[in-house]
A and B are shown apart, each in its own frame.
Chain A
Amino acid sequence: MNESDLSLKGRIFDIQRFSIHDGAGIRTIVFLKGCALRCRWCCNPESQSNSIQHMDFDGETKTVGRDVTAAEVMEEVIRDEPYYRRSGGGLTLSGGEALLQPDFSGALLRISKECGLTTAMESTGFGSFESVRDKILPWLDEFLMDIKHMDSAKHLEHTGQPNGRLLENARKIAGAGQNLLIRVPVIPGFNDTQEEIAAISSFAKSLPGVKKMRLLPFHQYGAGKYARLGMEYRMAGAAAPEASKMEELRKTAAGAGLDVQIGG
């Protein structure tokens, strides 16, 4: 194993073992800190800022974020090797946005492959394609990419970023032969109409090699964290989409000729 990979430093805020609903087999998710987007519905608001933060738990303060070497992360990830071996599982990078720390992410993926693990990454595709192509894709088995909206203005309004570069990256990444799965958070008042979902699915279908899409219904599970971080939450009170509505949207998306499932 490359020494310089092992000693590379990065900033993470959590490592979650025995993750069984996010890709192949039993996985460990490493959550990297810092994101370029500010999605209003974000259920991990502590992932957004790249600085170390403090959360208030009824008077007790918890530090969110720590700087670690790739070796330190992998030492924990590799503990579950017997379960990866039996299930085809491995490492998943999530965030925040893993592509904001491309060298660190690349090192984690490279070490994982050398250890015989499968690798996955949950990302919005925010970064330069060249960097993704050279530092990430050679060691990545599955790219789980969020596509939130086809209208750039609306995307900008709700996430703080336009979508141009993200969509362009999606096309380039797919074009590079990467195994790519498209995930769409279904957010009330943002993208939960038939037309909006249909637009995303036809875009997804147009990407070379893409066959699968997942619709992730909005939920309120991150709501409590905003106050603890002293942040404003703009989705308070918004209702999760009904199961029947999700099913309609699923059918619409599937109409583009994709394998579409709700959740996971």
Chain B
Amino acid sequence: MRLDNLSAIAKSERIPRMISRIFADMPEVEADRAVIVTQSYRSTESQPIIARRAEAFYSICENLPITIRPEELIAGSASIAPRGCQVFPEYSYEWLERELDDLETRSADPFFISEEAKKRLREVFPYWKGKTNSDLAFSLMAPEARAGISHNIFTPGNYFYNGIGHFCVKYDEVLAIGFSGIRSKAEKELDALAFYDPHYACRSAFLKAVIRSCDAAVVYARRYCELARRMSQEESDPQRRAELARIAENCSRVPEFPAESFWEACQAFWFTQLLLQLESSGHSISPGRFDIYMNPYYEADKKNGAVSLEFAQELLDCLWVKLNDLNKVRDKDSAEGFSGYSLFQNLIVGGQDEEGRDSTNDLSYMCLEASKHVLLPAPSLSIRVWNGSPRSLLLKAAETTRTGIGLPAYYNDEAIIPSLMNRGLSLEDARTYCIIGCVEPHKAGKTDGWHDAAFFNMCRPLELVFSSGADNGEQIGPLTKPVEKMSSFKEFWDAYADQMGHAVNLMVSAVNSIDQAHMIRCPLPFQSALIDDCISKGKSLQEGGAAYSFTGPQGFGIANVADSMMAVRQLVFEQKKYTLADFKEAMAENYGRGVGEGKVSELAIRISKELEGTGVEVGEAEVRVICQVLKERFSKSERWNGLLKDIEAAPKYGNDIPEVDELARKAANLYSKEVQKRRNPRGGVFQAGLYPVSANVPLGAQTGATPDGRLAGTPVADGVGPAQGRDLKGPTSACNSVARLDHIIASNGTLFNQKFHPSAMSTQEGLEKFVALVRGFFDQKGMHLQFNVVSAETLKDAQSHPENYKGLVVRVAGYSALFSTLSKSLQDDIISRTTHGLPL
């Protein structure tokens, strides 16, 4: 137990200034990378793809405009404009070409782009026609799989348009031996490679590409060295002049050579992090266990007096700001799903070492402090919790949580370590896991995880049960027994399992085609240089070079499926109050709550087509009549109020009711066990995740009404949590329900969101109880927990839409209560308190 908990370290004055500078303007799209890559590709057409990728990367490092921003202590920016981003036409470009003129005015994640940049991009785009990764992925894809996408069963959009990302490299190796050392490793392999080796051609090309990429990183750093030196000579302020001189010196040494100080280690880390994001457009490139691999450099400097605690903290804070300086432009629809300009750079503290000892160190605390200092979304800060975690670290984490930034997320070693071992990781590798992106467990430096491979909507197979596998008149699933003829709940469940199995097949097929496309068109030598066993195997990550290769598609909507199954079992098969035909009709009519114009015209077209198919002529007048009839049919009615009320009264997941929680577990396992049977083209297996990022909203919009009373087009349940507003018994009940799922089988991660009011955590005692809640959930083998400590704005929204916030806990006066249960005036009172600022 530590007695000094590094409770508060002063924040340097430069930090707020750096933050306001990078957030001053709308982020900007820059054309330079796209132009450089295009020029490079034009000049390397006769070479193997791995060499072309290395040349393109080298050219970026040599030519991409560079800048050092005011006051920063760590140099390296991907764009001249703060929070700017580059373009990656080799992955896909058509969407950007189409949306160029709307980027600045769109609602989600707008970007400024100059006319000059637009012009330069329009000049290079034609080169890429038919040559992109997404072009190839599409042409490789089975027609059935394409149909699965167009019917919104799942969406693999992430990697269809972009790089994969979602990895954590050997930052420790960069710090320890530098790119010169990594280069030597590749050279050694190349020397040892016999020209008569059956894979000589591919291996030698790959190793040469690795060497070229290592050189590229060194070239890039040298340019910063020169720039910093020049700026230092021109600088009038003596303090800044010295800082710039030190930056120049750092950049002359790292990342080429081993880091010899904490400052150099920070700089080497940053170049690595930055360059990985210039090589490909993948996101969720995660720093991982930063406190572990940076600590030796901090400890050494601390011991010899080279760095003070305050200055080390200032360097960390600067790095935290830099992590927010990176950006990515996505297509309009994806931007809605990922809004907030997020890159999901997950950085985790705490946990265990290879031998199972607690690995918390000073930097673990300082990382939490850095997030408290900057109060920004990046890095996605996480903390590993296990039975041996120090109390002081968890309290420090709780203090960070109550700032309301939703960080850190809490991860349970006691669930994650066995889940990774179940996938074949060694005990040592499992114990030293980190988290990628949102919630994905991962062994850094050894894994190509392909986490986030696709979003799989678990409600869609359920809809297909009611149509025997047809969607919009097209048979896309197996022809299961019509629900009208089902006589037992088992038959209903089995039909769901059949639809699920087929839908998973469609998804796996689509994802594997995309995987193959990346292997062929976008192998990544720089990234592969930093992940085992690419160099020793002589092949890139994308070709299966990693020690562990996985594909992790994530299912969501568990709560809706569980509540649906419960309602059907109880109302149809136990109470026999309704038939499945009633449910089918009620769902088609959206429970009498009306359907949109779009749905009416969609149905009218279908009916017209069906009529024409039977030989009936359908003219304009007929279509008008059909529309009229449909409108009447789907207009609002009271007809299903009784059913809705009975559904509402059925037990709901999230209230600590074992029978419905068991259905949730069964549904989640159905998905997980289907997924884990499949293999990917990199020689690895699929592993299921259970989380939606924020796709439950846009994908919910494409989902019809479900038997749990959820209306068409409304969001599907978020993560493994209860459906919105259906958990009525507070956080411990919800935690107990969620803990009844088998988290350990979902080794690609599970996500459980909880909402808290800051008042519940305002005192030291409140923090202790918060930690106890996390611990209590984790004792039951829950995997992940994160908290939204909500603001006044949220509370106001909760007031107008109480149905969405039934689980929100607030501190009242000497007691806590669910917000939705309070009177209007009391709610007003609490809202006004928040506005005045709570005692944080």
Contacts and interface: CB of A to CB of B under 8 A. Distances in A.
Interface of A: 16-22, 25-26, 79-80, 82-83, 85-87, 89, 216-217, 219-221, 223-224, 263-264
B698 interface: no
B731 A18 contact: yes
B585 interface: no
A204 B812 CA distance: 27
B168 interface: no
Contact of A86 (B731, B760, B765, B772): B772
Contacts of A16: 730
B825 A83 contact: no
A102 B131 CA distance: 82
The 9 closest A-B pairs by CB, nearest first: A87-B772, A83-B776, A82-B776, A86-B772, A18-B730, A86-B775, A20-B769, A18-B732, A82-B779
A204 B730 CA distance: 35
B838 interface: no
B779 A22 contact: no
B656 A21 contact: no
Given A79-B732, A220-B825, A19 B779 contact: no
B768 interface: yes
Contact of A22 (B730, B731, B771, B815): B815
Contacts of B729: 17
Contacts of B822: 221
Contact of B776 (A20, A22, A86, A221): A86
Contact of B732 (A83, A221, A263): A83
Nearest to A28: B732
Nearest to B773: A83
Interface residues of B, number: 31
Given A18-B731, A20-B760, A79-B732, A26 B816 contact: no
Contacts of B812: 221
B776 A18 contact: no
Contacts of B732: 17-18, 26, 79-80, 83
Nearest to B815: A21
A80 B776 CA distance: 8
Given A85-B776, A85-B779, A264 B769 contact: no
A243 B812 CA distance: 15
Interface centre among A17, A86, A217 (most CB of B within 10 A): A86
A221 B826 CA distance: 7
B754 to A, nearest CB: 11
A216 B814 CA distance: 7
Contacts of B736: 79-80
Contacts of A89: 769, 772
Interface centre among B766, B773, B813 (most CB of A within 10 A): B813
A85 B387 CA distance: 13
B811 interface: yes
Contacts of A264: 814
Given A17-B730, A85-B776, A221-B812, A26 B769 contact: yes
B392 interface: no
B733 interface: yes
B353 to A, nearest CB: 24
Q: Is the interface of B mostly helix, strand, loop or mixed?
A: helix
B97 to A, nearest CB: 53
Given A26-B776, A79-B656, A82-B780, A87 B813 contact: no
A177 B816 CA distance: 30
Nearest to A83: B776
B150 interface: no
B833 to A, nearest CB: 11
A232 to B, nearest CB: 18
A17 B814 CA distance: 15
Interface centre among A26, A85, A220 (most CB of B within 10 A): A26
Given A26-B769, A221-B822, A21 B811 contact: yes
Contacts of B813: 216-217, 219, 221, 263
B746 interface: no
A83 B773 CA distance: 6
A89 B765 CA distance: 12
A222 B766 CA distance: 25
B823 interface: yes
Interface string B769-792: 101110111011000000000000
Given A79-B733, A221-B822, A19 B816 contact: yes
Given A22-B815, A221-B822, 18 more contacts: A17-B730, A17-B733, A18-B809, A18-B816, A20-B769, A21-B811, A26-B773, A26-B776, A79-B736, A80-B732, A83-B732, A87-B776, A216-B813, A217-B813, A221-B812, A224-B823, A263-B813, A263-B814
Interface in B171-211: none
B598 to A, nearest CB: 35
A87 B809 CA distance: 18
Contacts of A85: 776, 779
A19 B815 contact: yes
20 contacts: A16-B730, A17-B732, A18-B773, A20-B766, A21-B814, A25-B769, A26-B769, A26-B772, A79-B733, A83-B732, A83-B772, A86-B771, A86-B773, A86-B775, A87-B768, A89-B772, A221-B812, A221-B823, A223-B823, A224-B823
Nearest to A223: B823
Contacts of B765: 20
Interface in B719-772: 729-733, 736, 760, 765-766, 768-769, 771-772
Nearest to A224: B823
A147 B309 CA distance: 51
A16 B817 CA distance: 9
B328 to A, nearest CB: 39
Nearest to B733: A17
